[in-house]
Amino acid sequence: MTYTKQVIQETLRLYPPAWAILREAEEAVDMLGDHFPANSSFLISPYAIHRNEQMFEDAAVFRPERFADGSSQWPRFAYFPFGGGARGCIGSQFALMEAGLILAVLARRFRFVSAPGQGEAQPEPLVSLRIKNGRWMIPQRRS
């Protein structure tokens, strides 16, 4: 289950369900040489941060092994697919457990291959992040 968890974490790094998060500052904030008054709105994008080469080496590459040492190896909020802090997703732990169990059961019995002719997956940022037009997969029974 260790590698299964790493696969899920890496998938969520590249395709976080909360692709953008809106937050408001309760107090005035000085950041990177700019001043923002209280009640300023900020749009934070886990999708962009998770693909930042300064945070993740080979950020565009799917490499589950990067999570072998957990996510504590990066600065706080470098990896936050479900948001974080007091406003983080209340169901994140359940979602991770559920995804792990489903993936483990299915991957044990099947190998999934992308159906031909679909091209590269194109992210579609709606309320949550999805793949535009979905993704058809062909299950191949493992022997």
What the block records as the tokens of 27 is 């107090």
* Range 81-119 burial, b when 16+ CB lie within 10 A, else e: bbbbeeeeeeebeeebeebbeebeeeeeeeeeeeeeeee
Rounded to 10 degrees, the C-alpha dihedral 79/81/14/135 comes to: 170
Question: What SS3 class is residue 62?
Answer: coil
Is 89 marked as a binding-site residue? yes
Residue with tokens 């991770």: 96
- Numbered residues of the known binding site for heme: 89
- Numbered residues of the known binding site: 89
